[in-house]
Structure 1
Amino acid sequence: MTEHQQARGERLLLVDGMALLFRAFFANNYGGSVRRTSTGIPVNAVYGFVRYFMDAVQKFEPTHVICCWDMGSTTFRTAQFDGYKANRPDAPEDLIPQFDLVKEVVASFDVPNIGMVGYEADDCIGTLARRFSQQAEVFVLSGDQDLLQLVDEQVTVVIMKKGFGNYAVYTPAALLEERQLTPAQVICVKGLMGDTSDNYPGVRGIGEKTAHKLVQEYGSVDGILANLDSLSKSVKVKIEADLAMLHLSRELATIKCDVPLEVDYSLSVWSVNRAQVLNKFEELEFRSLTALIS
């Protein structure tokens, strides 16, 4: 970052849209009762999304904001491994109409909605974080720990924690202090232990504790493979039996940072047209949220 750019203090907030929307849906689904408009349209997830979104904007004070979205379940990862995310249940019926609604709300803030078919939101976030970190301090907002691999001196990952307005903020130093891992080692741990939520196995029989210990001791998956004879017999046998899946799992865990996105950074300036946003809130009967829009 140049001195001129530092003086401008530009800060880009990259929002993981689906992470916020799903979290909001389940947090605002009290005893199965879903908030609806007077015409019966479910809006509980969108309502919660706005609360989370505005809290983060107020806390991290971005000058620029972009929201990234998944664009369907078929991606280059499902082509690599047909079991990838195959265990995911269908979206709840009341959430489905809110996928388009939430993007309309984001657009009312003049925030770009970004996604690309064949890639996940994580890949779009990784690409934009890498691309724009030369001109701005980048903050990534999500609930997805996979994004910790993006942390560097210019990219801070903010993980939403239980409760409203609670965040774990990860810089390289914070990640190292809390987990004794570098961002690159986050990928190696996932490659070894797999990911039950994304439905890839890693090395069968190796859990998080062992994966963490191995990566700390040998530095990386490559370091472990170069020292197989130093491992205990049981761990060595497990890795050798699942070598191909270890390599595939590491690849599946790696966020792509070169998605061919066309994004005009200047269109992401955070500048709220209050009347435009309030008009959308009125349509969705979000009167209690109008105080959030200054």
Structure 2
Amino acid sequence: MTKGNEQMELQMELEMDGEKGNRLLLVDGMALLFRAFFANSYGGSVRRTSTGVPVNAIYGFVKYFMDAVQRFQPTHVVCCWDMGSQTFRTTQFEGYKANRPSAPEDLVPQFDLVKEVVESFGVPNVGIVGYEADDCIGTLAKRHRDDAHVFVLSGDHDLLQLVDDRITVVIMKKGQGNYAIYTPEFLLEERQLTPQQVICVKGLMGDTSDNYPGVRGIGEKTAHKLIQEFGSVDGVLSNLDSLSKTIRAKIEADLDMLHLSRELACIHCEVPVELDFSASSWAVNRAQVVSKFEELEFRSLMALIS
């Protein structure tokens, strides 16, 4: 961990200690679940109940989830989920995320079961067909930033575009309890970018994970340099004459894809999510959670809710 990151984490802890207002934790459920699955399937060995139900991802999910709750001390919690592979982005670009492999067989039955676990904590599960979890997170973060300081928990760096003075993005790093905590100041310190410029960089360089190309031949280093110099994609396009012939030719050849990639990278923050803020209050019914843990044979996790 860098010195700057250590200082930022310390600053965040001090701010939270002195903060008497609400704190809303928005959890990227699928990001946690996939991370937990692969972290808890050593050598192909998958934790199962005595009846053979795979629960390794849920087990790890609970550990990640509770670590974040203990660390950030939320007053309100919501868990957001993807609702299938077809979204408005696949309508815009057929190849969007088309390179993603199918979910591992042992993970599939855990998709619905993990939501039952989340419900046992009294935490709302939110997902809207046609949108991604990122869009639900962005919508709720913007909607409730005046009701609470918002903490977004994920491993997805696309969410850094949401950062502002009331929205902090917490990126999970390797190892449980290891986080990079992004405020506008730390994002600028680490990447020399503003939240809006995160979108512009992705528009230029594309995203191999989400399978959209950006401008062919422009990688992260060049995209970052262009945005730092000209401020935005629009700034780059307004200064094409000052670019090298090679870079200009690449941009002009892929102009339509540049605009589309920038649009695909942008989190939609006006999703029709229906959620009463008070319904997300963190108030655990221990007996309810214990019952679900007993069903899944999570005896070793009982101490997390004592």
What's the TM-score, normalizing by structure 2?
0.94
In structure 2, how many angstroms separate the alpha carbons of the residues matched to 1:129 and 1:7? 18
In structure 2, how many angstroms separate the alpha carbons of the residues matched to 1:231 and 1:188? 17
The answer to whether structure 1 residue 9 and structure 2 residue 9 are counterparts is: no
In structure 1, how many angstroms separate the alpha carbons of the residues matched to 2:152 and 2:273? 17
Aligned to 2:98: 86
Instruction: Find 1:107's aligned residue among 114, 119, 131.
Output: 119
Listed as ranges, the matches of 1:203-218 within 5 Å are 203-218=215-230
In structure 1, how many angstroms separate the alpha carbons of the residues matched to 2:276 and 2:27? 16
In structure 2, how many angstroms separate the alpha carbons of the residues matched to 1:197 and 1:47? 26
Instruction: Find 1:137's aligned residue among 145, 149, 167.
Output: 149
Offset at 1:48?
Answer: 0.1
Deviations 1:234-291 (A, max 9, x none): 0000000000000000000000000011101101000110000000000000000000
Percent of residue pairs bearing the same amino acid type = 81
Alignment size in residue pairs: 289
Aligned to 1:64: 76
Where do 5+ consecutive residues of structure 1 fail to align? 1-5
Letter in 1 for 2:214: G
In structure 2, how many angstroms separate the alpha carbons of the residues matched to 1:176 and 1:233? 30
Offset at 1:9?
Answer: 1.2
- 1:135 alignment partner, SS class: coil
Offset at 1:8?
Answer: 4.5
Where do 5+ consecutive residues of structure 2 fail to align? 1-17
In structure 2, how many angstroms separate the alpha carbons of the residues matched to 1:117 and 1:164? 31
Instruction: Find 1:119's aligned residue among 96, 110, 131.
Output: 131
- 1:169 alignment partner, SS class: strand
- 2:49 alignment partner, SS class: coil
Instruction: Find 1:54's aligned residue among 56, 66, 74.
Output: 66
Aligned to 1:24: 36
The answer to whether structure 1 residue 97 and structure 2 residue 109 are counterparts is: yes
- 1:130 alignment partner, SS class: helix
Letter in 1 for 2:267: I
The structure-2 alpha-carbon separation of the partners of 1:273 and 1:192, relative to structure 1 and needing over 3 Å to count, comes to same
Runs of 4+ in 1 over 6 A off after TM superposition: none
Instruction: Find 1:178's aligned residue among 184, 190, 194.
Output: 190
Listed as ranges, the matches of 1:158-173 within 5 Å are 158-173=170-185
Letter in 2 for 1:60: F
The answer to whether structure 1 residue 240 and structure 2 residue 252 are counterparts is: yes
Aligned to 1:40: 52
Offset at 1:7?
Answer: 7.1
Deviations 1:66-85 (A, max 9, x none): 00000000000000000000
The answer to whether structure 1 residue 200 and structure 2 residue 185 are counterparts is: no
The structure-2 alpha-carbon separation of the partners of 1:16 and 1:7, relative to structure 1 and needing over 3 Å to count, comes to closer
In structure 2, how many angstroms separate the alpha carbons of the residues matched to 1:293 and 1:53? 12
- 1:156 alignment partner, SS class: strand
Offset at 1:183?
Answer: 0.1
- 1:40 alignment partner, SS class: coil
Aligned to 1:3: none
Instruction: Find 2:286's aligned residue among 263, 274, 277.
Output: 274
Deviations 1:62-107 (A, max 9, x none): 0000000000000000000000000000000000000001000000
In structure 2, how many angstroms separate the alpha carbons of the residues matched to 1:152 and 1:167? 18
Deviations 1:212-235 (A, max 9, x none): 000000000000000000001100
